[in-house]
């Protein structure tokens, strides 16, 4: 595997031209690269971090055509033929994932998927999902009782047999190895800064310029402004807790569970790295707008211990995904890309199957092959009034978040006038220097001060106390405590403010109790 360390920013050993450059080594990027390599194309995959570092490797690993209340949600806004096309696309993605897992030696576990209601209040949604699933050709069953291993309350559910689950991180590693084994180049630690749709296409990176006949932007949110897709999607984060199982393994659930009402919970058992774990997800929230993400972690942990009192202490992490305002993923050629630039986004937390389906469609288009029927139906969908209404509502929320962020920052302490001690370990605060919002945090004993203004469109970032990051409430860009960009439409880091770091550290030392 070609791996370029970010500190060297050197593309030595990598051709400066390829038939196709793929930006992003998640499921969409790696699957597309493999399909193109199988067709004899020369492919370079560029990744800022490591393969599967974000949503593709940090999800629950469910590979299911029954997806909570997704089918009925789409059906409320679109005709039945579009829902069927969505299911057919996900079925094609699911089948590809099964084959890819076998080739990569990644074990899968067959299971029944359940979309369930916590209480009677959610049964209308369960019934609607059952109708939408059957209308789309799925052999879904409306059930009252689920398997005997379920400890939590279930008022009713839709069931679909023959689904499966896997370890997504292991799958991403396997796909990345296959890209290299088949002759592709995989370059990590390099950030893409821009794409010019010339002939050939120019891809500007932190390590230099590469060219290609075609380019795929396979990042969670398109990092190009063309098409304004950051304004047509909404970013959300969901938490996943991994628990050591109770002493009696038979108490773990056998199925794949996702609630359709509140509290939102995703539940399954898994064996990863030779260890059996109980996975419980939930706490979905708009990026940067949750006062305390750590509180959501505690809520999920408390809920889990209510039904499995003997589980061990959990590990926790989170993943970010984007939902299009019309509920169906955006996939295809990017506007103003002159037919040479493709993209995909808006998987609404079902990126494994949707990402593989997007790869199938994009690979067909890049190779000039006839697209599957489902791709033509999805590609010809119309925007309906409800889509405009939801887009207007979401963008109004963005405007409100922008105003709240700036007002809060301007009301904060002026670090130019008063000395402020460093925040406590794991804490971050937004203050100001004059009229400039500044974020100060302490992580691992290191106090960092950065500009609190997102480099995308100028929103004031918010401290994420569960992941120790700065998150933008406008369009879901995220940065680590040192200001390094992690994900989202922003291309650049938050600027450091080193003199404030020194002042905060000094103030903390002066105010500290004497050590004996």
Name the nearest CA neighbour of 18 among 44, 38, 37, 46: 44
SS3 state at 425: coil
Asked if residue 415 lies in contact with residue 432, where contact means CB atoms within 8 angstroms, the answer is yes
The Cα–Cα gap between 72 and 128 comes to 6
Tokens describing residue 483: 């200001």
Q: Is the pTM here over 0.85, yes or no?
A: yes
> In CATH, which superfamily holds the domain spanning 17-379?
FAD/NAD(P)-binding domain (3.50.50.60)
CA–CA gap between residue 217 and residue 208 (Å, rounded): 18
Q: Write down the architecture of domain 410-511 according to CATH.
A: 3-layer Sandwich (2.102)
Query: 455 a known binding residue?
Result: no
Query: In this predicted structure, what is the pLDDT of residue 151?
Result: 87
pLDDT at residue 315, as a whole number: 96
What residue segments make up the domains of the chain, in order of their start? Answer: 17-379, 410-511
Beta strands 485-487 and 478-480 are antiparallel
Residues of the chain with pLDDT under 50: 1-9, 509-516
| pLDDT at residue number 511 | 42
Please check whether residue 267 is in contact with residue 253, taking contact to mean a CB–CB distance below 8 angstroms. Answer: yes
Domains 17-379 and 410-511 share a fold: no
């Amino acid at each position: 595997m070609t791996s370029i360390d970010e500190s060297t920013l050197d593309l030595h050993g990598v051709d400066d031209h390829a038939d196709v450059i793929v930006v992003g080594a998640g499921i969409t990027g790696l699957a597309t690269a493999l399909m193109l390599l199988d067709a004899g194309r020369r492919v370079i995959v560029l990744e800022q971090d490591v393969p599967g570092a974000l949503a593709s490797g940090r999800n629950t690993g469910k590979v299911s055509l029954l997806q909570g209340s997704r089918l009925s949600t789409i059906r409320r806004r679109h005709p039945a033929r579009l829902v069927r096309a969505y299911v057919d696309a996900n079925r094609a993605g699911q089948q590809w994932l099964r084959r890819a897992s076998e080739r990569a030696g990644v074990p899968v576990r067959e299971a029944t998927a359940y979309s369930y209601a916590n209480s009677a209040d959610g049964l209308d949604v369960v019934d609607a999902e059952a109708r939408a699933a059957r209308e789309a050709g799925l052999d879904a069953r409306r059930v009252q009782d689920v398997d005997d291993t379920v400890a939590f309350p279930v008022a009713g559910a839709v069931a679909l047999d023959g689904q499966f689950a896997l370890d997504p991180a292991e799958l991403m590693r396997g796909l990345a190895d296959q890209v290299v084994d088949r002759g592709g180049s995989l370059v990590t630690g390099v950030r893409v800064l821009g794409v010019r749709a010339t002939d050939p296409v120019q891809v500007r990176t932190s390590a230099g310029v590469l060219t290609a006949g075609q380019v795929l932007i396979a990042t969670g949110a398109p990092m190009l402004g063309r098409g304004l897709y950051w304004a047509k999607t909404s970013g959300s984060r969901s938490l996943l807790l991994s628990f050591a199982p109770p002493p009696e393994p038979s108490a773990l659930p056998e199925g794949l569970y996702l609630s359709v009402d509140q509290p939102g919970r995703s539940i399954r058992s898994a064996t990863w790295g030779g260890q059996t774990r109980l996975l419980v997800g939930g706490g979905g929230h708009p990026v940067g707008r949750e006062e305390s993400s750590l509180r959501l972690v505690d809520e999920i942990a408390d809920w889990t211990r209510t039904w499995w009192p003997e589980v061990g202490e959990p590990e926790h992490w989170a993943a970010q995904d984007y939902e299009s305002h019309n509920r169906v993923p955006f996939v295809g050629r990017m506007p103003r890309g002159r037919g040479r630039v493709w993209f995909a986004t808006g998987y609404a937390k079902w990126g494994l199957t949707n990402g593989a389906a997007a790869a199938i469609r994009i690979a067909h288009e890049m190779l000039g092959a006839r697209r599957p029927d489902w791709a033509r139906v999805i590609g010809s969908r119309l925007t309906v009034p409800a889509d405009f209404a939801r887009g207007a509502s979401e963008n109004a929320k963005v405007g409100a978040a922008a105003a709240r962020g700036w007002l809060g920052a301007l009301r904060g302490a002026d670090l130019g006038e008063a000395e402020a001690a460093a925040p406590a370990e794991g804490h971050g605060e937004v203050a100001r220097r004059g009229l400039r919002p500044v974020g100060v945090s302490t992580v691992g004993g290191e106090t960092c001060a950065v500009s609190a203004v997102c480099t995308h469109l100028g929103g004031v970032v918010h401290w994420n106390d569960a992941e120790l990051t700065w998150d933008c409430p406008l369009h879901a860009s995220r940065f680590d405590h040192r200001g390094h960009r992690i994900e989202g439409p922003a291309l650049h880091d938050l600027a450091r403010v080193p003199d404030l770091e020194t002042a905060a550290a000094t103030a903390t030392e002066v105010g500290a109790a004497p050590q004996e």
